[in-house]
Structure 1
């Protein structure tokens, strides 16, 4: 890169890279009526799931014991009651997850962020019951906190989630966006070191998610959903490209032009495969302009 004075170079970086500006923070009070509706839906569905579990278990176990003590042994009833018991657990677990999903979506629709965060925190405690659901709730919670300017809390939530699931690829589709929220939060706070760390984690998790989604699936259901899977991959590519773009901007502002150039190159490569959107068009435009400026670096 051509030699220039230190001050002039800093001004150039500031002009081209841009300073990270915090988006508008949601300062509105939570919708109290919406909070009541969301919590009512959550507790009602959870109680129903509990009653189903207790009732189904009691019925299945009772009939199983009766069949076991019958003379001669009633094998058919023993088998059916075992199946019924397993089915009861599956349905109750699904209903408990729907209680979280439905109430959180309702709270979001009604601008009731308080209940959305409260229910998400409760879902985090159901990690063993529904690990994927708890990871999704963590993503929602971190996003809500960041939108209200609670950047430190959002990063702490992401840190705990990374400690739980960072070494596994089972929840990458929700862990990736959570990592991106943490990176964004640190960048807003001016902590570029941690922002880079979390961008790298975003790239790791979303990269694994894309690879797993691209793997051939077997079965009729998998074949039926193959088109939707392709569309989702394109959406994930947008998030992945945005993470590379974030890294590139930070390196550019730090005058680490070699790393900036490499990350802009990856941004263009990944974003070219992403779903069409205004975000994609803008990121590609800026990344290509920066690559031109860094051509001789």
Structure 2
């Protein structure tokens, strides 16, 4: 799953960067989302694989807090980027004549930087608060990575403020982008209803992939929250966490490529370029071997 997620998202980044037809705001945000997915899944899975291979399931205090901070940062950035992409679709469908003016390159970069700033602040807040907690020795985290909620539960000191911040700030960071997505799609639906049949199909096809990814990310995220509240089983919580931290990142490339003609064409061109490049390397290698003989 890790290899599929990394390779799939890398192919999207390479396809967007190598095809001039895809140098638009929509695909700029998509390539940023793909890069974020690679970072998010890399925060957790490689460490888990190392632990399995070494038969040693330990993690240092610094390593655990670093993992907490990284997962929070990239998870929050995922939420913000999905909201930015929803706004991009709203402008493209509801204000098509002003799209290039509103979604200019400077504004697109500013939106990504603002999302990065908010997600970094969110991650640093919780990590710095976790530094004030004291822990007993030989703790066992019932999870495959250091998730903030599980770490707080293991604290020996008072963690009430940390728990309140998790739900309050986490609700804001997750809820505000989700509200923006819902509002954007309400406007999109009203605009689409006034279009012709051909326009409706084109609009829904451009939004379908994004809606699938939003449903997958937020659906699994709420699944983790509900499972942690309803059940006391750490195993069930860990299984639910796999969905938003691993499965979503693996499925995103398939969702965007299978439903998008432009991405399919770009990937075919990329495949041809890579095949030609590898062929040249093979020819050069065989030529060097013949000269050495």
TM-score computed with the length of structure 2 as normaliser: 0.28
Larger C-alpha radius of gyration, 1 or 2?
Answer: 1
The structure with higher relative contact order (CA 8 Å, sep 6+) is 2
TM-score computed with the length of structure 1 as normaliser: 0.28
